[in-house]
Structure formats: C-alpha cells, structure tokens
Chain A
Amino acid sequence: MHEKKCLVRSPRVLDMTNRNGHLCGRILADLGADVVKVERPGGDPDRRIGPFYRQTFDRERSLLWFAYNANKRGITLNLDTGDGRQILKTLADKADFLIESFPPGTMDELGLGYAALAEINPRMIYTSITPFGQTGPYKNFKASDLVVMAMSGLLYMTGRPGEAPLRISFPQSFLLAAAHAAAASMIAYFHRETTGRGQHVDVSARECVLWEISNAIPSWKLNRKILKRAGSYMSGRWANIKQKLLWKCKDGYVVFYILSGGFGVKTNRGIVAWLQEEGLDSELLTNVDWNDFDMSEQTQETQNQMEAPIAELFSRHTKAELYNEALKRKIMLSPVSTARDICENTQLHARNFWVEVDHPEIPAGIPYPGPFARLSETPLASARRAPLPGEHNLEIYEKELAFSKRDLRLLHQSGII
C-alpha cells in the first residue's frame, strides 16, 4: 500500500454528478481525495447505461459506472425532501469540494446552490459541469454528447466530405468536460490552500471540446479558411492537399503519413528503405532529399504518386506485422487498434498498466486501466471498485453524522436515504 498521496489531507469531495461528470470525482479520488458519491435512493439512473458485465443488463454491473466511479464511496440521499437537503448541508459544512452536473439553476432551486452553501462553508470549492456553462443565451439549452460535439466544431471536421459528420462512437464530450473540471477544481483547491477561500467553478462542456479543434480557429481568423473533414485523409496542417492518413492493410488499418521537416526525415527514409527491401522501389521516393522536402510545396499529383507504393506495401501485411516492423525501424506508424489490440498491447503489459480490481460480487477480478500518470513520490491510488447503491450509508450517516440506528431506520423507510 502506498501511503503517500498528492492530496495529503484527503479532502472530502461530495460527488453529485451524473454521467456528465463521473470522471471528475474519479480523478480527484485517484489523487487522494475522499470522494463520496451522492445518489438518489435506489441508485443513480446512470447505472442502467451500458456496456454491462458479460453483456447482461444489471443495474449493479454497468461497466460505465464501474470505470468512472471506482475509488469512491457511495451514499444515497433524496434531495427532494427537507431532511435530505438538511443532511446535504450538514455534509457540505465539512466538505472541501462539491461537484455537480445538474442543469443550471437546479441546485439553487433546492436551496443548495453555490451562494447558499458558501454561506455555510466559504472554504468549499463548488464545481458545476453543464453543457454550455452557467451564463449566456444557451445556458438552458438541452444537450447530449452529439449536440456538444456538433457545437464545438469537432464534428464538422470528422467524417467523409459531402456526407454527414461523425462523432466518436463512445461519447466523449462529457468525459473531456469532467477531466477539465478536475483540473479547474484543483486550481481552485490550490488557491484555497493558499488563502482559505473557496469559490465557484463553472465548467462548460462545449468549451472543453473547443480545446480539441486544433488549428481550425486560427485558420479562420487569420486566413478566412474553413478546415473541412477529409475522411481518412488529413488536410490543412502541412499542406492544403490531402495527405493519406489511414491505410488499409491485410486485417485492418494503420495510421501513417508522409511528414515534411526534420521530424519526418527518419520515418520517410525508413519507409523508402522498407519499400526497396520489398521490391517496391519508387524512383520518385528514392530521389527525394528528405532534408529539403517541404510538404507545403507538394502537388496532389506527386503526393498520390508517392503514396501508391506505400499503399501496396501496407496491403501485404497485417497491422501487427506493420507495427512490429515500424517499432524496429523507428517509423512513425501505428495500428488502428481494437479493444482487443489494446488489451494485448505489449507496451502496456511491459509497463504493468492493467490493474486487477477485486469485485466480491463477481467470480473473478476485472483488469482496469491503470493510473493516467505515474507519479514517483505519490502514486495515484489503485482502483477500488465503485460503490453499490448506499453501500457506505452507515459509515457516513451513523459513524460520521452520528445518526442513531432508529433515525437511520426511519430515514431509510421514508425514502430519504
């Protein structure tokens, strides 16, 4: 067991988020915070979202829930009751963070908004994650992952030209938002530890995804150029021509592209040598002086001619063969990995990335992705399985808040906890 953790005082986090923010609390928990998930009695509705353990619907076996609520404790509390709200205020009095992802105004209506809780506990960091933020004309717009992706420009840049833009099939925008919320909460915490003062952190998921669209904004602002989606090609980075990015191989696809500038030299020379070994010599490629090669001067015709023998080379091999060869030759190429490829990846195994997490309710443990970063002095907490609904009610309500057994029985029966 590692005793040392980044957050040496194990600050208390009240995690009231739904699927729009689970990961935020998970990150804080990994850093050493004492995160308590607050669910409604019976469990959070997100527990019914899959994928599920062994493909079978079970509210207590959602893998989405497992992944993003590990390392937390869990209590149940009904905020629609006066008792529930009173209990939350008591918890807030001692909490260091509260994170929530209700629509703007929801917590205010419950009397649990930032202003109300800051009066009880001015040291608290209160983080709100919403699609568009707490202010502005769109603040009450309804949103989903696809809508946030649409309104942040990432969707427009992904997909085939002329066809409908595409999202990443596993919803990403609120995971990004939750990660940014964790960083912003940590900034507020650092400030709190300096000054003793808490504050409100207002996170807009859409603005988080706006970080993702690389050079699209400066391309428009500087040159009135709109970067468009280019399917399996890249365009608008080093050249305005299309550079092939995804290539078909025997059993799938690989990522590769011809790069100009100093960082491309080794890869480009490597690929030329490899072509020669396979009898796919191309005079055009062999004669390029890669030190002088400038993609911005490249024509589409020459680009296509350069790419043709490379496509032939890749089509002869599997993605594993190509990647192994690329590793040997230090060529920038990667497989288009499936979940299986990732789970079997040798680099991850060599680094002992997978962490077996014990689930007493399930026959065997489950390998989870390991720490998102390796900290030499204060390693991130290794995962402890996510809480069952109300699993820690006794720990919190009886031991910490000193409710009597009788009161707890009453609170349970009346649906308050």
Chain B
Amino acid sequence: MDLERKVFDGIHIVDFGWALAGPLSVKYLADYGATVVCIESQQRPDLLRVSAPFKDEIPNVNRAGFFSYFAANKYSISLDLNNTAAKEIAKNLVAWADIAADSHRPGVLEKWSLDYDALIKIKPDIIMIRSSNQGLTGPAALQPGLGNHINGLGGIVHLVGLPDEEPVSPMVAYTDYCVPPLAASALIGALDYRRKTGRGQLIDLSQFEAGLHLIAPLLLDYSTSGMEAKANGNACEYAVPHGVFRCKGEDRWCAITVFTEEEWQAMGKAMGNPGWTKDEEFSTFLGRKKNEARLNLLVEQWTSQHEPEHVMMLMQKEGVAAGVVQNAEDICSDAQLEERGFFWEGDHEEMGTFSYLGQPSRLSETPANLYRNAPSLGEHNKYICLEILGMSEDEYDRHLEAGVFGP
C-alpha cells in the first residue's frame, strides 16, 4: 500500500510537446507525481522517436533510446489531429488538464485550433506553456529550427574553441537543456498562483531568450564597453593551470584547475614535487600565467604517464579540483552516481531493461521516482479514453476503426 503523497498528486497535464525542451520541462512535474498524457502522432512521430540510438540498431519508434530516456512517468496517446473526432478527444483532455504544454513551432497548434485562445474556451483557468525557439511574437517567431540552431543564434557556439581558431559546436542541443529548469520554475509558480487565485495563464517561453540568461554578464559587457567575448579554450583568467590534460590510454583526459597558491603547492605535492615546479618563472601567479603554455606542457608530460582516474585521485587527495573527462561508459560505472541512484533502472515494453534519466536534486521528504516506464507510441490509447475520459468500449472501438488514433 502506497501512502506516500507525491508533490503533484492530482495535477493533470496534457503534453503536446515535441523533441527536447518541452517534454523535459514537463518531466519535472511527471517525476514528482503529476499525471501526464503525451499527445503523439503515428503519422508524424516525435523527432526523438526517429533519432538514434535504437535498441539493437533496429530503427523503430518504440526502440528509440533517446526518446525513452526522458519519457518515464508519462502516458502516451496517439491522435491524428487532422481527424475531427481526434481533435475532440484532445479537447476533452484539455478539459481534464490543469496544464497544457506545447513546444511546437508557433502556428502548429493554431492550425489545429488548439492555441491558448481556443483552450481557455474549454478550460478557462488552464495554464498553458508554449516553449518555442524564438517566442510567439516578432518577425522570427515562425522561423523553424532545432536546438543546434539556437546554440549558434544564442551565442554558445561562438564561445567554444581555441583562441582565434574556427569555433566548435557542442554536439548537444545546449539550450534545449537550459530551458527545462526555467520553464518548470515558471510552471510551478503559475500552478501555485492558480491554486491561490483560481486564475490560469499563458506562458510564452522563447528558448533563445531564456538561454541568454546563461551568458548574461557577457551581454552586459558588450552593452557597457563594446567588448565581444571570445572562446578561450579551457583557460580561466584567475586560475592556472586550468585545463584538460592528456592521460595514459586512448582518448583519456583529466581536468585540473588550480585557483590558489595553496592549491598550486598541493598540485606539486600530488605529482611528487618534480623539480620544475620550483622554477623561478612558476614561483608567482603572474609568472605561471605568463608561462602558462609551458606549464601546461610540463603538467601534461606528467599526466600522460598516468591513467586519468589515478591523476584525479592524487589531486583530490591533496585538495586540488580535478576530474576525469568521462565518457558514457565511465558515467555508467561511476561510483558516485551509483551510490546516489542517479539513473533509474526500469523496463520498457519493447526494449527490456532500460536506464532512465533521474532527477539532479534529492528532495528529502518527497523524492522523485520512477513510477512508470516510458510509453510505446500510443500505448495508453484505450486506458486514456476509458479511464480518464470515461468513454465506452464501443465508442473506443469505433474510433479505433475510424483511424482516430492513426492508421
């Protein structure tokens, strides 16, 4: 018997979301107990359902690891929203919901008559969040794009690379992951406001705008002094050494960062006090800064003789901030993450055992949990129609035959 109360027990969310930023924002509520119904499409499956990796490399919407990784604790219904009866079901879900979430390009929900103005006619106090690349208004509102494009537009790509060399792109859709905690904060705020005042609202979130808060000081710098920040590798103005150093093994690296005199001494000790650490040119912070390139080479000569885990442990033992540049394999066997149960080990209807992304915070009284494995596409069509919307079995069967849930 489960007597534990979840934070969002009884909160209903209909999620029109798509790809990353939208569904990840809703994950925050799903993982703490909200009932979330994702409206999906058989004809136009979610971008991540058709993205690698697929279990055993067999492409299939229900074998998509990227989609499922983020989609625990949600129900899935597949609706052909060009079908009138399907649209009716979507509207009934809106009537049931406290929150409607969307992350399509502006215009898509308008086409289906499911925009905010339409929704408040069905549910006057609904909270609707529309998370889009560039917001609902303005000349670029309708511009299509994915996270990688916003990485460029929003200034992140320009900040990655070696000085005066071609930039490098983070391979991930960076802003897609910056937005969810901001969106969730606003959503929960709106939910609390609604519970206290009875009023819903529309949240227009531009991923471009939200992401700019993560580089805000650089924008203030430009507007006050005309300075345009540039990529500077892994360097830091007030730390030296501060970099990523090659270690023993193939493509193995360790980050080492030294901020204080004390840490500089400690780093020397961790390395066994090689003679060069006593060189005159390295005896002061300014000296080390001036000779940073040579210093980095000397550090790397030492690190390249050791495995990165060993370098990290030696440095940490002496109180120097250092960490292995971990790849996915390292992360999946990491003692710290295992101890904290970061990944949620569960199952999946078609993929078998599956590791889900957990929450990065631990709430002492109301921890997040894996309540439900990620759904197959349309897995809960019948459950949602019968149990949530109270449809009769006959009616459901008629809809099924009529292609309401897809071909």
The number of A-B residue pairs with CB atoms under 8 Å apart is 525
Partner of B171, one of A28, A226, A230, A296: A230
Q: Is the CB of B326 within 8 A of A222?
A: no
Q: Is the CB of B206 within 8 A of A351?
A: yes
Considering the complex, which residues of chain B in the window 216-265 have a beta carbon less than 8 Å from any beta carbon of chain A? 216-225, 227-234, 236-239, 242-246, 251, 253-255, 257, 259
Q: Is the CB of B224 within 8 A of A63?
A: yes
Q: A176 at interface (Cβ–Cβ under 8 A)? A: yes
What chain A residues lie within 8 Å of B32 (beta carbons)? 187
- Pick the interface stretch among B91-99, B197-205, B391-399: B197-205
Q: Is the CB of B139 within 8 A of A347?
A: yes
- Given the known inter-chain contacts A166-B234, A186-B188, please indicate yes or no for A266 contacting B144, CB distance below 8 A: yes
Residue contacts A-B, CB under 8 angstroms, 7 given? A143-B321, A146-B242, A202-B364, A203-B361, A225-B53, A255-B157, A338-B155
What chain A residues lie within 8 Å of B181 (beta carbons)? 176, 179-180, 182-183, 208
- Given the known inter-chain contacts A53-B224, A164-B246, A350-B138, please indicate yes or no for A338 contacting B158, CB distance below 8 A: yes
Q: A1 at interface (Cβ–Cβ under 8 A)? A: no
Q: B54 at interface (Cβ–Cβ under 8 A)? A: yes
Q: Is the CB of A332 within 8 A of B342?
A: no
What chain A residues lie within 8 Å of B325 (beta carbons)? 150-151, 155-156, 165
Considering the complex, which residues of chain A in the window 116-174 have a beta carbon less than 8 Å from any beta carbon of chain B? 132-139, 141-144, 146-160, 162, 164-172
What chain A residues lie within 8 Å of B57 (beta carbons)? 223
- Given the known inter-chain contacts A153-B326, A182-B181, A266-B144, please indicate yes or no for A187 contacting B172, CB distance below 8 A: no
What chain A residues lie within 8 Å of B152 (beta carbons)? 246, 253-255, 334-337
Q: Is the CB of A337 within 8 A of B153?
A: yes
Q: A238 at interface (Cβ–Cβ under 8 A)? A: yes
What chain B residues lie within 8 Å of A164 (beta carbons)? 233-234, 243-246, 253
A63 to B24, CA, bound (A): 30
A216 to B28, CA, bound (A): 21
Q: A204 at interface (Cβ–Cβ under 8 A)? A: yes
Q: Is the CB of A337 within 8 A of B246?
A: no
Q: Is the CB of A263 within 8 A of B47?
A: yes
Q: Is the CB of A339 within 8 A of B229?
A: yes
A111 to B160, CA, bound (A): 42
A195 to B220, CA, bound (A): 42
Interface residues on A, range: 35 or more
- Given the known inter-chain contacts A141-B316, A372-B213, A374-B205, please indicate yes or no for A179 contacting B7, CB distance below 8 A: no
Q: B385 at interface (Cβ–Cβ under 8 A)? A: no
Q: Is the CB of A232 within 8 A of B143?
A: no
Using CB atoms, name the residue of chain A closest to B131: A373
What chain A residues lie within 8 Å of B50 (beta carbons)? 261
| Closest beta carbon of chain B to A49's beta carbon, Å | 7
Q: Quick one: which of B129, B225, B363 has the most chain A CB within 10 A?
A: B363
Q: A107 at interface (Cβ–Cβ under 8 A)? A: no
Q: Is the CB of A267 within 8 A of B144?
A: yes
Q: Is the CB of B255 within 8 A of A155?
A: yes
Given contacts A197-B365, A266-B144, 15 further A-B contacts (CB under 8 A): A132-B336, A142-B320, A142-B322, A153-B331, A172-B214, A201-B364, A204-B360, A214-B177, A221-B332, A227-B171, A236-B171, A296-B59, A339-B229, A347-B138, A380-B186
